[in-house]
């Protein structure tokens, strides 16, 4: 068994059967990190080797806690893992050690996972390019001169390189989908409320972010979701979740997909992105799904204005204490300042109007789902860009007016809390780089999306077919 290339559920079964030990898994993991991490900078704040080896030895001596028993995992740097630093890539928070696990992290540990470090992110998790002044940039393993995406960029790279077999992440604006696409793996933004966030601050109004899983196979993604999901009694907007792993081989007969392409020309796209995604949908048709090309179903400009209003409202609510401290304010980067100041300038009616647009899009999407089971869009509008850029200023000659406009394609799912999975669809563009396709379902249809992704995976096995090569 090549431990670092093995899917998590397969590895879990081997550990349970005594075919491999947790010590052997940890040794292989640390060796893979030593081989890869210097080139890609995906895992940061690594735990001491002796400490995690001791945890692995203890796992071999104790009864199984769950399916993750003895499996190493690195937690996204924006999340709290007890005893590890959580600085979110910001010098302002450097040295801040978590006293408690976040809810999702605690659930992964309770299932037996051994936390070995954190995965890199943009500063404060803002933007889809994992670079920050504390740890530097995470590089794409398929071309280390390119971005790995974000904000779960370190997680995507750790998976692609075999440094971990599963990963956690979070998604406001594509942070589980863009890095999955650019690293040839899978990422699932669950239906809003399936995986709880932390019960801090406002838990009623600000519904645009969610935690979720990443993996190299849909079955592992389902197992991770089932572990992370479940209500928290301190939070009001929770959603029921029936375990998705037992449903992985459900009936997909008659499943219909609406291909939204570039939203009638509204999304700027680099050459080749649409063609590669469309080719993947043609292959899905050959597997028995029906695919229809759909015209733009909603005013994209209205959706974008709603999105940036609600996003800034959300971020200002969480981050304004930093802004209130003049010393800290002077050290915030331009993107963080822009979001907070925009949020602080909003009036109550601005937020109300944005939420009305969100409500209108939700109703429109509900009508679409009367006919279609899945909406499909590219996971990104461009191929992985130069790692030295802070963010792309244009796409195919179209100027981007904000630091995140180049990722507008993820907004239709994020704005209304729909589940969306990014599946790898191959390689393309002038430099033969990875791309993904978003499959978006109605709220609560997480298992159906995982079923479709599993059928696609069994036909393509993209993560295994095109593993990255260690840079020489």
Catalytic residue among 170, 175, 306, 422: 175
Rounded Cα distance between 168 and 100, Å, is: 17
Q: How far apart are CA 202 and CA 200, in angstroms?
A: 6
DSSP symbol at 271? T
Q: Give whole-number Cα distances, 9 to 3, 13, 18, 28, 227, in Å.
A: 12, 6, 14, 17, 13
Q: Are 3 and 24 in contact (CB under 8 A)?
A: yes
Going by C-alpha positions, the residue among 121, 179, 153 that lies closest to residue 434 is 179
Residue pair 207/170 in contact (Cβ under 8 Å)? The answer is no
Contacts of 194-198 spanning 24+ positions with Cβ under 8 A: 194/225, 194/229, 194/239, 194/241, 194/419, 194/446, 195/104, 195/225, 195/228, 195/229, 196/103, 196/104, 196/230, 196/231, 196/232, 196/235, 196/238, 197/103, 197/235, 198/80, 198/102, 198/103
- Catalytic status, residue 151: yes
Annotated catalytic residue 65: no
Q: Which two tokens stand for residue 330?
A: 């002077």
Which of 443, 424, 421, 444 minimizes the C-alpha distance to 434? 424
Q: Quick check: 362 and 410 in contact, CB under 8 A?
A: no
Q: Which two tokens stand for residue 47?
A: 């735990």
Contact 150, 103 (CB under 8 A): no
Look-up of token digits 């915030």 = 332
Are 129 and 389 in contact, with CB atoms under 8 Å apart?
yes
Do the beta carbons of residue 66 and residue 110 sit within 8 Å? yes
Element (H, E) at 310: helix 300-324
Residue 327: how many other CB atoms lie within 10 Å: 8
Query: Pick the catalytic residue: 12, 45, 76, 312?
Result: 76
Q: Could you tell me how many residues make up the chain?
A: 472
Q: Which residue has the tokens 């550990």?
A: 15
Report the candidate in 267, 278, 339 with the shortest Cα–Cα distance to residue 310. Answer: 339
Residue from 12, 45, 130, 151 carrying the catalytic annotation: 151
In the residue annotation, 90 being an active-site residue is answered as no
Structure tokens at 308: 């940036």
Active site (catalytic) residues: 76, 151, 175
């Amino acid at each position: 068994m090549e431990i670092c290339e093995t899917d998590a559920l397969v590895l879990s079964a081997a550990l349970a059967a005594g075919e491999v030990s947790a010590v052997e898994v940890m040794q292989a993991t640390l060796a893979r990190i030593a081989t890869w991490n210097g080139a890609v900078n995906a895992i940061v704040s690594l735990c001491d080797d002796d400490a995690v080896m001791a945890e692995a030895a203890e796992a071999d001596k104790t009864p199984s806690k769950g399916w993750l028993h003895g499996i190493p995992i690195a937690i996204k740097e924006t999340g709290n893992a007890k005893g590890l630093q959580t600085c979110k890539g910001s010098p302002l928070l450097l040295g801040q050690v978590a006293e408690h696990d976040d809810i999702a992290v605690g659930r992964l540990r309770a299932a037996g996972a051994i936390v070995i470090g954190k995965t890199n992110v943009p500063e404060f998790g803002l933007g889809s390019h994992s670079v920050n002044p504390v740890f530097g940039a995470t590089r794409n393993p398929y071309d280390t001169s390119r971005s790995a995406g974000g904000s779960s960029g370190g997680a995507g790279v750790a998976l692609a390189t075999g440094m971990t077999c599963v990963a956690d992440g979070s998604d406001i604006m594509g942070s589980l989908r863009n890095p999955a696409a650019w690293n040839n793996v899978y990422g699932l933004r669950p239906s809003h409320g399936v995986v709880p966030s932390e019960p801090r601050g406002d838990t009623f109004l600000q519904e645009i972010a969610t935690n979720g899983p990443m993996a190299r196979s849909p079955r592992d993604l389902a197992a991770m979701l089932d572990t992370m999901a479940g209500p928290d009694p301190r939070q009001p907007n929770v959603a029921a979740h029936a375990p998705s792993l037992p449903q992985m081989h459900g009936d997909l007969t008659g499943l219909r997909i609406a291909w939204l392409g570039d939203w009638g020309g509204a999304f700027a796209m680099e050459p080749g992105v649409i063609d590669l995604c469309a080719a993947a949908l043609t292959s899905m048709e050959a597997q028995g799904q029906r695919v229809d090309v759909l015209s733009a179903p909603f005013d994209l400009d209205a959706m974008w204005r709603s999105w940036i209003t609600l996003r800034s409202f959300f971020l200002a609510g969480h981050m304004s204490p930093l802004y209130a401290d003049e010393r800290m304010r002077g050290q915030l980067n331009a993107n963080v300042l822009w979001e907070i100041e925009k949020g602080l300038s909003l009036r109550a009616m601005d937020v109300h109007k944005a939420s009305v647009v969100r409500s209108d899009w939700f109703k429109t999407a509900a009508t679409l789902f009367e006919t279609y089971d899945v909406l499909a869009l590219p996971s990104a509008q461009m191929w992985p860009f130069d790692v030295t850029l802070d963010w792309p200023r244009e796409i195919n000659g179209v100027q981007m007016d904000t630091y995140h406009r180049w990722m507008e394609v993820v907004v239709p799912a994020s704005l209304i809390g729909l589940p969306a999975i990014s599946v790898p669809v191959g390689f393309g563009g002038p430099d033969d780089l990875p791309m993904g396709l978003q499959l978006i379902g109605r709220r609560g249809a997480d298992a159906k999306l995982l079923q479709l992704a599993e059928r696609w995976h069994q036909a393509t096995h993209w993560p295994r077919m095109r593993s990255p090569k260690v840079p020489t």
